[in-house]
Amino acid sequence: MDTELIGEPFIPQRTLLGPGPSNVNPRVLQAMLSPLLGYLDPDFLKLMDDVSAMLRQVFQTRNALTFAVSGTGSAGMESGFCNLLEPGDVVVIAVNGFFGERMSDIARRQGADVYRVDSPWGQPIDTDAVRQEMKKHPAVKMLAAVHAETSTGVLQPLDELSQIAKEYDSLLLLDAVTSLAGSPLNIDEIGVDFCFSATQKCLGAPPGLSPVTASEKAVAAMLNRTNPSRSWYLDLSLLFDYWANNRRYHHTAPMSMVYGLREALRMILEEGLENRLNRHTRNADALWAGLESIGLEFVVSREYRLNQLTSVYIPEGVVDTDVRRALLYDYGIEIGGGLGEFAGKVWRFGLMGESSKDINVLALLSALEAVLPTHGYEVGRGVAVQAASTSFANNRSN
């Protein structure tokens, strides 16, 4: 048997400016080094209570069922559908990107009758088409949509979708993986019944937990099921017993991730939620000014553009992977390529949580000015950086 030890891993430092994960503050990483506790240790249960309380503030809700599911954002997504839907239930899903597609797939796997309302990628959901689809069915149990579609950079307005759900007495399920703590999202005011997010984007923690929150109406739907949830691990009634009610053991929680999320939430509340949202807006404005100055074409019109995730079309003749590779290995900057029908056609620039900094905006634009001309797209040196700097100066003066 070969007993030679494997060498120490080389893990480079990257500036993460893609669709996620985003960079993590050292305070969060330090918190994750805290000693492990038992899953029912009173001190760990207190930390869980802290996480739930702070998540309510960030979600802007009073929902009792508010905690973090073990797993990434897709676990949160699946928990919503597997707890709220049963075979034969009717669900209408608004699809305008990759993650709307994923919701449709998951809902079908629950045995639900899925009716999609498709809008072009890069555009918001056509709410008139949603209303027309809802009219076709005598009882729609759920209307589902993506608030911030990470594959395209569209921020979906929610007021009309909420009104439609209320008109048809349907549950409203929302994907807020990229929007929570980066875009305005008041769960109670809007009237969202189930919302899930992820820790690795605007919340500023590593990937591994999915915050969820459910209204009383959603909880009633979970508890009044004909059959148990098809997923034992994601059964929210069992998880709620662990997080809040009887403190009954369900699974061994990822303690270090809970520590990290707690510290990340503390940092959000220290900064102030409104200040954090304004920071994302200010940095997006500067990035857009810089990209526009060098002639890159935006996928999403400004009215619906997501501050945290900006998509641009790759210029004709430029090879997607060549530019991303140069940014990664020559400048230590990660950006994202396209997903689904946008694969090879767009770049996605992320400014989320800890990564949403003015210095990162300027570093990215400076790197693009250096890389793009060597790959067939001429830009003036300093043009993008100057445009972004002007945007920052104007925002400070205002």
Q: Tell me: pLDDT of 259 over 70.
A: yes
Q: Which of 7-11, 91-95, 194-198, 201-205 has the lowest mean pLDDT?
A: 7-11
CA 264, 269, 272, 274 torsion-angle sign:
positive
DSSP state at residue 5: P
Residues 161 and 306 in one domain: no
CB 129 within 8 A of CB 153: no
Beta bridge partners of 219: none
Q: At what angle do helices 255-271 and 273-293 cross, to 10 degrees?
A: 80
Over its C-alpha atoms, the chain yields an Rg (Å, rounded) of 22
CA 204 to chain centroid, in Å, comes to 11
Mean pLDDT of 9-23: 94
Q: Tell me: pLDDT of 398 over 70.
A: no
CB 356 within 8 A of CB 17: no
Terminal Cα distance for the chain, rounded: 68
| 382: CB partners within 8 A, 6+ apart | 369
Number of domains in the chain: 2
Residues 235 and 152 in one domain: yes
Share of the chain above pLDDT 90, in %: 95
Residues 222 and 98 in one domain: yes
Q: What residues make up the domain containing 381?
A: 272-397
How far is 66 from 196, CA to CA, in rounded Å?
10
- Is 1 within the bounds of a domain? no
Q: Tell me: pLDDT of 86 over 90.
A: yes
- Is 130 within the bounds of a domain? yes
Q: Tell me: pLDDT of 192 over 90.
A: yes
Task: Quickly state the pLDDT bin for 278 (edges 50, 70, 90).
Answer: very high
Residues 201 and 220 in one domain: yes
Residues 340 and 361 in one domain: yes
Looking at residue 351, its pLDDT comes to 98
Residues 206 and 306 in one domain: no
The string of DSSP letters for 49-95 reads HHHHHHHHHHHT---SEEEEEES-HHHHHHHHHHHH--TT-EEEEEE
Residues 221 and 300 in one domain: no
Residues 86 and 40 in one domain: yes
Predicted TM-score of the model (pTM): 0.96
Looking at residue 1, its pLDDT comes to 52
Beta bridge partners of 348: 311, 336
Task: Quickly state the pLDDT bin for 220 (edges 50, 70, 90).
Answer: very high
Of the candidates 99, 50, 58, the one whose C-alpha atom is nearest the C-alpha of residue 77 is 99
Residues 65 and 104 in one domain: yes
Of the candidates 244, 270, 296, which is a domain's last residue? 270
How far is 213 from 52, CA to CA, in rounded Å?
9
Q: Which helix (H) or strand (E) holds 337?
A: strand 336-337
Using DSSP bridges, classify how beta strands 90-95 and 142-146 pair: parallel, antiparallel or unpaired. parallel
How far is 38 from 193, CA to CA, in rounded Å?
32
- Is 16 within the bounds of a domain? no
Task: Quickly state the pLDDT bin for 396 (edges 50, 70, 90).
Answer: confident
How far is 58 from 176, CA to CA, in rounded Å?
12
- Is 2 within the bounds of a domain? no
Q: How many other CB atoms sit within 10 Å of the CB of residue 317?
A: 8
Of the candidates 252, 270, 288, which is a domain's last residue? 270
Looking at residue 252, its pLDDT comes to 96
Residues 266 and 177 in one domain: yes
- Per-residue pLDDT tens for 133-176? 999 999 999 999 999 999 999 999 999 999 999 999 999 999 99
How far is 213 from 362, CA to CA, in rounded Å?
36
Of the candidates 270, 289, 305, which is a domain's last residue? 270
Q: Which ranges in the chain belong to alpha helices (H)?
A: 26-31, 42-59, 73-84, 98-109, 127-135, 159-167, 187-190, 216-223, 236-243, 255-271, 273-293, 320-331, 358-371, 383-397
Residues 203 and 57 in one domain: yes
Task: Quickly state the pLDDT bin for 8 (edges 50, 70, 90).
Answer: confident
Looking at residue 82, its pLDDT comes to 97
Residues 191 and 148 in one domain: yes
The phi and psi torsions of 211 (rounded to 5 degrees) equal -60, 135
CATH number of the domain within which 346 lies: 3.90.1150.10
Of the candidates 257, 228, 199, the one whose C-alpha atom is nearest the C-alpha of residue 82 is 228
Looking at residue 46, its pLDDT comes to 97
Looking at residue 4, its pLDDT comes to 76
- Is 24 within the bounds of a domain? no
DSSP state at residue 304: G
CATH number of the domain within which 62 lies: 3.40.640.10
CB 285 within 8 A of CB 310: no
CB 345 within 8 A of CB 338: yes
Tell me if residue 267 falls in helix, strand or coil. Answer: helix
Q: Tell me: pLDDT of 269 over 90.
A: yes
| 378: CB partners within 8 A, 6+ apart | 372
Mean pLDDT of 166-192: 98
- Per-residue pLDDT tens for 105-127? 999 999 999 999 999 999 999 99
Token pair belonging to 66: 């508010």
